[in-house]
A = this chain, B = another copy of it.
Amino acid sequence: MADQTRVTLEQSEMPEAWYNILPRLPFPPDPPLHPGTREPIGPDDLAPLFPMGLIGQEVSTDPWIDIPGPILDIYARWRPTPLQRATRLEKALGTPAQIWYKYEGVSPAGSHKPNTAIAQAFYNKEEGVTRIATETGAGQWGSSLAFACALFDIECKVYMVKSSFEQKPYRRLMIETWGASVTPSPSTETNAGRAILDANPDSPGSLGIAISEAVEDAAGREDTKYSLGSVLNHVLLHQTVEGLELRKQLEKAGLQADVLIACCGGGSNLGGFIFPFLEEKIERGDGLRFVAVEPASCPTLTAGKIDYDFGDTAGMTPLLRMYTLGHEFVPPAIHAGGLRYHGDSPLISGLAEHGYLEAVAYPQGKVFEAAVQFARTEGYIPAPESAHAVRAAIDEALRCKEENSAETIVFNLSGNADFDLAAYDAYLNGRLESEV
């Protein structure tokens, strides 16, 4: 038998509670503010948009929150996800480091997004919600919520950033196969969309604009709630199944991570991956590093400033204290659509502000170079977002080679590229804007 390169968990070893970082933070969290009064908002302010089950989680100070049985039951369709060692990549790099990755691309939608989509659909269903509106950039989130809504028999409406809608027809078809409806954003269906189109009929859209449309849709209809795929506390909470599984897997394999790496757009993938290691990070200090990887073209953590800002372009959401490039910032149309967000989760921002989290930014040429090397040594073709983590993991491994340091590098391969192969085509044929 070969060395162990794959660490799996039984269904019975799946975490049965989410890890809530809020009561464990070594600094006080900053509350969201009402966009009108600039006073901290309360549950009532959020009630038009979210079911109370999720609002409760947004502010909960319970260290653990039980995962309801019906959610566990669905998680078990693809979870626990495997932890794999990239031995062939290690060899190609000639590094003494071990490179491990947790692979979330095995979910029905092909990414980590269903971890929260299923939970959000469940809590909406429990409170009788019959329709959910949301936005999607690259399409990973929209397809995940469509999948979740299909399973809970909830109508689902997805405002999809127009440039993605046009570039990724298959992603749209996936959403429709699960029974949801998709509208390119900006659309003529909302005031927010019409205002953008009036100013610029050719607008390619952005995540911020699509959020404005979905929020307006939900706020205006009694039967509809809104759902967000990242940024908010409850979303990151749900994603902690990733890090909790990883902790068990590392323990099972007798490993101690030296660095944990994940890409960061709104921050849910990163948060879910690292939060359960917070106590260990505090104890080990620089012995355990958290690394966020972002695109050079949307460098919130590496070049943004921390301040209160809106979550959407139209300024309809509560104000969140976060690293931001300004809510009117529209990043270039890079292929990692899921990382094109002007801000970051307040929880992630807090960890960065207080020195618990490093960040690094890459232009997309360097990202795809790493992704192709990974695909041709390990097999899986990373989603453009996840490819950012691959790039950073390779660079850490090369640093280890220089320093002759046998570290254990663990990154999150958060999704596959099945709907993003046009980006690889552009890269391989010299048509990618590499420096962006």
Contacts and interface: CB of A to CB of B under 8 A. Distances in A.
A123 interface: no
Max chain B Cβ within 10 angstroms of own Cβ: one of A5, A177, A376 = A177
Contacts of A376: 150-151, 178-179
A28 interface: no
Contacts of A9: 8
Contacts of A84: 76-77
Contacts of A87: 73
A233 to B, nearest CB: 26
A73 B2 contact: yes
A419 B422 contact: no
Nearest to A168: B170
Interface residues of A, number: 54
Nearest to A377: B151
A17 B175 CA distance: 41
A369 interface: no
A176 interface: yes
A77 B6 contact: yes
A92 to B, nearest CB: 11
A5 B73 contact: yes
B147 A379 contact: yes
A155 interface: no
A14 to B, nearest CB: 8
A12 B16 contact: no
Contacts of A16: 1
A106 B379 CA distance: 12
A182 to B, nearest CB: 12
| Most B C-beta atoms less than 10 A away, residue of A87, A377, A378, A418 | A418
Nearest to A76: B6
Interface of A: 1-2, 4-12, 16, 69, 72-74, 76-78, 82, 84, 87-88, 106-108, 110, 114, 147, 150-151, 170, 173-174, 176-179, 372, 375-381, 417-419, 421-422, 424-425, 428
23 contacts: A1-B12, A2-B69, A2-B72, A2-B73, A5-B77, A6-B76, A7-B11, A8-B9, A8-B10, A8-B11, A77-B378, A77-B380, A110-B418, A150-B375, A150-B376, A151-B379, A170-B419, A170-B421, A173-B421, A173-B424, A176-B428, A178-B381, A418-B419
